[in-house]
Amino acid sequence: MELVALNAAVTWIAVIANLILTFAVVRRVIANRHRAPREEGEQLGLPKGVTAPAFEGVMVDGTQVSNADYHGRQLALLFISPNCEPCRRDLPRYQRLGTPAKVAGTELVLVSTGETEATRALLLDLNVTLPVILTPPGDNSFAANYKIPGTPAYCLIGPTGVVESAGLPAFDWGEWAELVRSWESGERFTQPASEPPVLEVMHTG
């Protein structure tokens, strides 16, 4: 009986030790994922303070558009892809942000890096009515110029064409969360003085 009890105690100790080790590994993996872009020298988005690259494109409704059309207004470019699951998950929430963003003085514009028909199908499926810029098939120069290696990602451009913020549009941390809070509260987003957190691309291609 004592031997059985001893074996049971040893088994439970091993189980608990494995759980502790597993949690430690998971925490390290998460931490490394957020540090990876900086350690590897990869930057997600343009650095603040630089002039945003000029762009020209076609909206999903066929309208021609360029950066000059937004001069004098704050512009939030939100890069998405039809094949990006986080994009599909969060598009309804992006859609709801359109009106409060506009009221706060920001034009929220989606930029699709995917195929035109797949983009149209995605927007129709999720009832998204935000303005959308389509990139030419096989041409990733728009995203490349804005240093967007994957989606979702965003770039906030000020009224004079200077980048105010860029990175991963995470709703629970970082500058995007602060930007969303400013829209929902009716305030204008102000770039924090402290260094922003290192951001991570959730989908490539």
pTM: 0.72
Closest by Cα among 77, 87, 133 to 107: 77
Q: How many CA atoms lie within 13 A of 90 on its CB side?
A: 20
DSSP secondary structure, 73-132, as one string: SEEEEEEE-TT-HHHHHHHHHHHHHHHHHHHTTEEEEEEE-S-HHHHHHHHHHHT--S-E
Q: CA 7 to CA 19: how far, in whole Å?
A: 18
Q: Is residue 89 predicted with pLDDT exceeding 50?
A: yes
Question: Which tokens in the block code for residue 17?
Answer: 């030790």
| Closest among 99, 79, 101, 100 to 90, alpha carbons compared | 79
pLDDT score, position 204:
53
Fold of 56-204: Glutaredoxin (3.40.30)
DSSP symbols for 150-168: EESEEEEE-TTSBEEEEE-
Nearest to 75 by CA among 112, 123, 36, 108: 108
- pLDDT band at residue 26, thresholds of 50, 70 and 90? very low
* Apex 187 CA angle, 196 and 112, nearest 5: 60
Rounded Cα distance, 164 and 151, in Å:
19
Q: What is the pLDDT of residues 117-170, one digit of tens each?
A: 999 999 999 999 999 999 988 888 999 999 999 999 999 999 999 999 999 999
β-pair type (56-59, 74-80) = unpaired
Predicted local distance difference test score (pLDDT) of residue 41: 42
The residue ranking higher by pLDDT, 204 or 176, is 176
- What's the N-to-C CA distance of the chain in angstroms? 61
Residue-range domain boundaries for the chain? 1-41, 56-204
Average pLDDT over residues 185-198: 54
- In the predicted structure, residue 87 carries a pLDDT above the cut 60: yes
